[in-house]
Amino acid sequence: MRYLPKSPAEREAMFAELGLASEEDLFASIPAGLRQQEPLSIPPGQSEYEIRDYFEARARDAARGYACFLGAGAYHHYRPVVIDSVATRGEFLTAYTPYQAEISQGVLTTIFEFQTMVAQLTGMDVANASMYDGSTAVPEAAMMAARVTRRNRLLVARSLHPEYRQVMDTYDRYQGLPAETVAYDPQTGQLDLEDLDARLSSDVAAVLVQSPNFFGIVEPVREAAELAHKHGALLVVIFSEAASLGLLQPPEEADIVAGEFQSFAHPPSFGGPYVGILATKAKHLRQMPGRLVGETLDADGRRAFCLTLSTREQHIRRAKATSNICTNQALVALMATVYMALLGKRGLRELAEQNLSKAHFLAGALRSAGAELPFSGPFFNEFAVRPAGGSAGDVNDLALERKIIGGLDLGRFYPELAGALLVCATETAKREQIEGYADCFREAADG
């Protein structure tokens, strides 16, 4: 086995040193009746060449060379090659969680930079070292809000990503945190503020709102914050499209911001690994889950970084920890850090403006093809659209024949929106692809 670095003679010498006659002797402490009798039913080890072939074959059984108008929590953005040049360096790739600060300053410094940039982008005071992904950051934020307010009811916007809501349901079922959904306005696609106001009371721990929401629409965060705060509840603002942060007003009125940084870090990769973020106001710091890196000095008085405030965490507090989360998504967070460094202040703005322009061009092209946008609220880089005449399925079937993956059928999550598609155009969507997809709408409508 090519990953095992011992010659037969060395192995023999080691057995001899230990006074062991056979491999069986090494496992003498496992009761004989519990040892495996049959060899593993897994084919013999393969060469690098064969394994590459296997995965190349799987990749051919996928969607190579398609244009794609799917977003809905996973976005196609161009990734500069420098990201992987950095992230595949063994010094980052093969390091452990940086408990030993003296020989982990590389990881620690990049996490400190990540925390800083997340705080700058979200308008919060502090950000942690990352969470698994956006969907799991949401229940962590909800549990945090319950600890801060010592209340247990949650009000969740129905326009929060349906899968994020489902994940929260799973977590909260046994936490005694009942959640109610708050309607969206069927005209604008934005949070229904009247419905929110009616549901708020003095036992609500948090209001959870996504902006841009699942329909791509920018939410009235300030108004939601005012309502939540009037009743002593926290406002948790969630996002799944980090690229929007380059252009949208940061949710400074929020108490906690939870989101997904996949857009800055990683290709869609069939759903993971991504990288979640969690940021908050300084006063809630002690209730925050996850790792934090802080600045300090070394014994010679030089700036150094280390993991800090770990008394919140499971390895110290055990059953009383703020979360059971152990590690974060450091390597994906590093990718995001490199991306943000490359684009910088101006690049993130330009990126966001290009996304806005492409999506609005797509909306115009689809309207010209007879489709209607059911919502009037302002949208960033994705939006709901109803094809004229033909069904959403017809449009996407036609598109597939032309190597275009169309938008997501909203009926999957919202029965009242059956037949509408959620379509997304990022900076990677080319004009001719957009026009090609619009042709599918037109032709499907003409039957």
Partner 1 sequence: MGRIRQHQALEERLLFERSSPGKIGYQLPALDVPPVDPERALGSVHVREEIPGFPEVSEVEVIRHFTRLSSWNYAIDSGMYPLGSCTMKYNPRLNEAVARIDGIIDAHPYQPECLAQGMLEIQRTLEAYLAEICGMDAVTLQPAAGAHGELTGLLLIRAYLESRGDARRVVLIPDSAHGTNPATASIAGYEVVEIPSNRLGMIDLATLRDAVDDSVAALMVTNPNTVGIFEQDIAEVAAALHERGAQLYMDGANMNALVGIARPGDFGVDVMHLNLHKTFSTPHGGGGPGAGPVAVKRHLEPHLPLPRIRAAESGLSFDWDRPASIGRVRAFYGNFGVLVRALAYILAHGGDGLRNATVDAVLNANYIRKGLEGRYELPYEAPSMHECIFSDSRQAKHGVKTGDIAKRLIDYGFHPYTVSFPLIVRGALMIEPTETESKHELDEFIAAMRSIAEEAERDPDLIRRSPVTTRTSRVDETRAARKPILKWQSAGQE
**Cβ 447 to partner 1, closest distance in Å?**
22
**Residue 133 sits in the site that holds partner 1 (CB under 8 A):** yes
- By CB under 8 A, is residue 344 in contact with partner 1? yes
Shortest spacing between CB 192 and partner 1, in angstroms: 18
211 DSSP assignment? S
Tell which positions 188-247 bind partner 1, by CB under 8 A.
218, 222, 246-247
Residue 386 near residue 371, CB atoms below 8 Å? yes
Residues in region 37-56 near partner 1 by CB under 8 A: 39-46, 48, 50-52, 54-56
Instruction: State how far the Cα of 77 lies from the Cα of 66, in Å rounded to an integer.
Output: 14
Query: 3-state DSSP call for residue 290?
Result: coil
* Tokens (6 digits) for 169: 């349901």
**Beta partners for 260?**
276
- Closer residue to partner 1, CB minimum distance, 377 or 390: 377
Strand order in the sheet with 408-409: 382-385, 421-424, 408-409
Q: Does 21 bind partner 1 (CB under 8 A)?
A: no
- As a whole number of angstroms, the distance between CA 336 and CA 79 comes to 10
Query: What residues numbered 349-378 form the site for partner 1, per CB under 8 A?
Result: 349-354, 356-358, 360-361, 378
d(CA 428, CA 75): 10
Pick one of 150, 302, 416, 447: the residue that binds partner 1 (CB under 8 A).
Answer: 302
Backbone angles phi and psi of 444, in degrees to 5:
-65, -35
Q: Answer positive or negative: Cα dihedral of 126, 131, 137, 143.
A: negative
Q: Quick one: DSSP state of residue 225?
A: H
Position among 67, 107, 191, 438 found at the interface with partner 1 (CB under 8 A): 107
> Which of the ranges 35-43, 149-157, 199-207, 437-445 carries the binding residues for partner 1, by CB under 8 A?
35-43
Asked if residue 161 binds partner 1 (CB under 8 A), the reply is yes
Restricting to residues 59-98, which ones interact with partner 1 according to CB under 8 A? 59-64, 66, 68, 70, 72-74, 76, 78, 80, 82, 84-98
Instruction: Quote the least distance from Cβ 110 to partner 1, whole Å.
Output: 6
Least distance (Å) from partner 1 to the CB of residue 199? 23
102-110, 150-158, 185-193, 197-205 -> range binding partner 1 (CB under 8 A): 102-110
Cα angle 96, 74, 213; round to 5: 115
